[in-house]
Chain A
Amino acid sequence: QVQLVQSGAEVKKSGASVKVSCKLSGYTLSALSRHWLRQAPGKGLEWMGGFEPEDGQMIYAEKFQGRVTMTEDTSTDTFYMELSSLKSEDTAVYYCATGRTTYATFDMWGQGTLVTVSS
């Protein structure tokens, strides 16, 4: 069974960093596109960045440039998202997602990780 399992909820202070992990099971990470998205409470979905094999490099949304780092460990099929200089507006559920269909299409999602930023 192919699935993505994310790390647990986090509570952080403003200015701190958070690192969320996403472990893939039942498939090989290197064969997939892999992305991070987020959803603030009661709001819509926002793409943060990710890797498309077609592009061959990690791409970040300009909004998060300089604050986000996405890494991966293909030996454990785990990928990570680290967001620094946290602000209250970063309070959201963070999702990892992968794709096997077409470019930038998110066909499998993790369960989500709630990150709460308090002042």
Chain B
Amino acid sequence: DIQMTQSPSSLSASVGDRVTITCRASLNIITYLNWYQQKPGKAPNLLIYAASTLQSGVPSRFSGSGSGTDFTLTISSLQPEDFATYYCQQSHTLPFTFGPGTKVDIK
């Protein structure tokens, strides 16, 4: 199975901060990489697919980049509603696997 890792596992930030989350795959997944946001008690919500394509309806402060094994999710200016856990997921090889998550909370 392709192992997905994320760093950091958690971070504290303030409203308005620029936040960067990193995801690394154990094998080359080209750009078959998606990002999800999950709030407590809710289902995940797709933010970015194919590494850098913003899902319809998602604010433009979210962006994704990377290819191969190293990927980044950036929130350009953190808003109160962005405090959540973020997961990356590879869609290159079965089984489709997720990173362990990065929890973003209020400083």
Contacts and interface: CB of A to CB of B under 8 A. Distances in A.
Contact of B49 (A62, A107, A111, A112): A107
Interface string B73-99: 000000000000001010100111111
A89 to B, nearest CB: 17
A95 B98 CA distance: 14
A119 B83 CA distance: 36
Indicate the size class of the contact surface on chain B.
Answer: 20 to 34
Nearest to A106: B46
B41 to A, nearest CB: 9
Contacts of A102: 49-50, 91
Contacts of A59: 94
Contacts of B101: 44
Interface of A: 44-47, 59, 61-63, 95, 97, 101-107, 109-112
10 contacts: A45-B38, A45-B44, A45-B98, A61-B94, A63-B95, A95-B43, A105-B46, A105-B49, A106-B34, A107-B49
